Amino acid sequence: MAGNLPPVIAIDGPSASGKGTVAERVARDLGFHYLDSGALYRLVAWAALDAGINLENESGVSDIALNLNVIFNDGIWLNQKEVGAALREEAIGNAASRVAALPRVRQALLARQRAFRQPPGLVADGRDMGSVVFPDARLKIYLTATPEARADRRYKQLMDKGMGASMNALLQDIRDRDARDSARAVAPLQKCSDAMYLDTTALTIDEVVAQVLAQYKLALQVP
């Protein structure tokens, strides 16, 4: 851990691996702050589409990222409008994966993400939390599951919200996003050499949270 900066637990992994749910639970149990980095990229994508900006327009999209007027407080507020539900739509998730591949967008959001590092500590989830945003994280976790398990989880989430979904389409979408996130030139999805690999395919959320908390307790004992 660098200097006297608050500790960070970085949880990275592919789409629908459960990292957001786990990170939020771990943060609550420890009394830490929580950063959902994916929400920032979804916000950029949503705001760009709302403004009629082509997602391939790196300059235009990065300007959106630099000037996000966002507040995380009992929801996600952009320009004083609650947009949390809209950000969870599959189309926005796909758009977020596209804008996340733009180097200037990633650079624009870097300082904003690091600003979440406040006492007493932070749990951050995303795809490059341990490799780029918080390379000095006290604990790094790479959370994953089989594509089939992740598609099934996403399907159940959508059905619970009363939204129709195709399992085959969701599975293909997850595979496409995995390929796109892993192959991008800047900050690709990858397991850091010093990250703990945790496959959640056969685990419950409670079991995963317990393992992360146990690993953090061990990390605190390492000089």
CATH, residue 99:
3.40.50.300
Weakly modelled stretches of the chain, pLDDT under 50: 1
- The arrangement of strands across the sheet holding 81-82 comes to 70-72, 76-78, 81-82
Task: Please give the model's pTM, rounded to 2 decimal places.
Answer: 0.86
Domain that holds residue 87: 8-211
Q: Is residue 176 part of a domain?
A: yes
Say if residues 64 and 48 touch (Cβ distance below 8 Å): yes
pLDDT at 3: 58
Q: Any idea which residue has 């079991």 for tokens?
A: 207
Contacts of 205 (CB under 8 A, 6+ apart): 18, 21, 22, 25
Q: Is residue 219 part of a domain?
A: no
Q: Is residue 183 part of a domain?
A: yes
Q: Is residue 3 part of a domain?
A: no
pLDDT at 158: 83
pLDDT at 8: 98
Q: Report how many domains make up the chain.
A: 1
pLDDT at 223: 62
Contacts of 75 (CB under 8 A, 6+ apart): 82, 84
